[in-house]
Amino acid sequence: MKRFLKLTSILAFIVLIVFVLIRIPAIQDRIAPLAMVALLSPADLPEEDSLSALVCGSASPLGATDRAQTCIMVRAGDEIYIVDIGDGANRNLGRWRIPMNKVQAVLLTHLHSDHISDLADLHLATWIPNRKSQLKVYGPQGVEFVTRGFEEAYQSDYFFRNEHHGDEVAPLHSVGFEPITIDLNEPIIIEKDGLKVTAFEVPHDPVKPALAFRFDYKGRSIVISGDTIYSENLISYSKDADVLFHEALSMNIVSMMEDFTKRSGNDLLSKILFDVQDYHTDPVDAAKAANEAGVKHLIFYHLAPAPAIWLVEDMFVRGVNSIRDDWTLSDDGTMVVLPVNSEEIKISTID
119-130 per-position pLDDT tens digit: 999 999 999 877
| Per-residue confidence (pLDDT) for residue 24, from 0 to 100 | 75
Please list the rounded mean pLDDT of every run of 10 residues in the chain (351 residues): 63 66 68 60 80 97 87 97 97 94 97 97 92 96 98 97 93 96 97 97 96 98 98 98 98 93 92 93 98 98 94 95 96 97 95 76
| Per-residue confidence (pLDDT) for residue 23, from 0 to 100 | 73
The gap between the terminal CA atoms of the chain, to the nearest Å, is: 39
Q: Is residue 119 part of a domain?
A: yes
3-class SS of residue 25: helix
- Nearest 5°: phi and psi at 214? -115, 130
| Per-residue confidence (pLDDT) for residue 1, from 0 to 100 | 59
Q: Which amino acid, one-letter code, is at 64?
A: A
- What is the domain extent for residue 141? 51-349
- Give me the number of domains the chain comprises: 1
pTM for this one?
Answer: 0.90
CB atoms under 10 Å from CB of 268, counted, come to 8
Q: What is the CATH number of the domain that holds 76?
A: 3.60.15.10
Dist. CA 162–CA 261, nearest whole Å: 50
Burial 216-231 (b: 16+ CB within 10 A, else e): bbbebbbbbbbbbbbb
Q: Is residue 276 part of a domain?
A: yes
CB 172 within 8 A of CB 187: no
CB atoms under 10 Å from CB of 341, counted, come to 11
Q: Is residue 34 part of a domain?
A: no
Q: Is residue 30 part of a domain?
A: no
Dist. CA 194–CA 48, nearest whole Å: 15
| Per-residue confidence (pLDDT) for residue 13, from 0 to 100 | 63
Dist. CA 4–CA 201, nearest whole Å: 65
Instruction: Please report, for residues 45, 53, 316, 321, the alpha-carbon distance to residue 348 in angstroms, rounded to integers and kept in the order given.
Output: 11, 11, 21, 20
Q: Is residue 1 part of a domain?
A: no
Q: Is residue 6 part of a domain?
A: no
Dist. CA 12–CA 39, nearest whole Å: 29
Q: Is residue 256 part of a domain?
A: yes
| Per-residue confidence (pLDDT) for residue 18, from 0 to 100 | 61
Cβ within 8 Å of residue 64, ≥6 positions away: 308
Inter-residue long-range contacts of 35-43, CB under 8 Å, 24+ positions, other chains counted:
39/97, 40/97, 41/97, 42/97, 42/99, 43/96, 43/97, 43/98, 43/99, 43/350
Dist. CA 220–CA 222, nearest whole Å: 7
| Per-residue confidence (pLDDT) for residue 303, from 0 to 100 | 97
CB atoms under 10 Å from CB of 210, counted, come to 23
Dist. CA 252–CA 259, nearest whole Å: 11
Dist. CA 32–CA 28, nearest whole Å: 6
Q: Is residue 33 part of a domain?
A: no
